[in-house]
Amino acid sequence: MKIISVRAHPEYKDRAIKYIQDCWPEISPVIYDDCITHCIEATQALPQWYLLELNEELIGCAGLITNDFISRMDLYPWICAIFIDEKHRGNGYSLSLIEQAKQDTKTAGFKHLNLCTDHIGFYEKFGFTYIGQGYHPWEEESRIYQIEV
């Protein structure tokens, strides 16, 4: 298993865009295409996009971004788009992506990593603490979690 930074390995750009778009088909394809394309030559530490590869097959992904379409603009960075293919869940692979995001968060000089989700009980297992609700532009809300790096 290996974690691939799309920024460090731009040859994965097209595969990353397709994989992440396939994970969230309800999101306009231009969102991930634009963000991933521009992360490659970004001059600042964010955004970062990661792929998880096992035996040359992409099985997961995550992003490290400045805001996850949430009202708490005072909090950043955010880990987003955490996804593990269903047949590979239960093996701790999401923890590998979280640990990479935590490491990059710390390297960039941030003290906390944030996450918004509707899952209750999952991210707490990795040390995230619920800190409150946040609101999305599409009039939904999500739970906000934070972990110190």
Q: Please, which pLDDT band fits residue 138 given cuts at 50, 70 and 90?
A: confident
pLDDT value of position 139: 86
Please state whether the predicted TM-score (pTM) of the whole model is above 0.75.
yes
pLDDT value of position 124: 96
Q: Other C-beta atoms within 10 Å of 52: how many?
A: 25
Q: Other C-beta atoms within 10 Å of 121: how many?
A: 6
pLDDT value of position 8: 96
Average pLDDT over the chain reads 96
8-state DSSP, 40: T
Please check whether residue 67 is in contact with residue 47, taking contact to mean a CB–CB distance below 8 angstroms: no
Please check whether residue 19 is in contact with residue 54, taking contact to mean a CB–CB distance below 8 angstroms: no
Give the three-state DSSP class for 64.
Answer: strand
Q: Other C-beta atoms within 10 Å of 10: how many?
A: 15
For the segment 63-98, what is each residue's pLDDT rounded down to a tens digit?
999 998 899 999 999 999 999 999 999 999 999 999
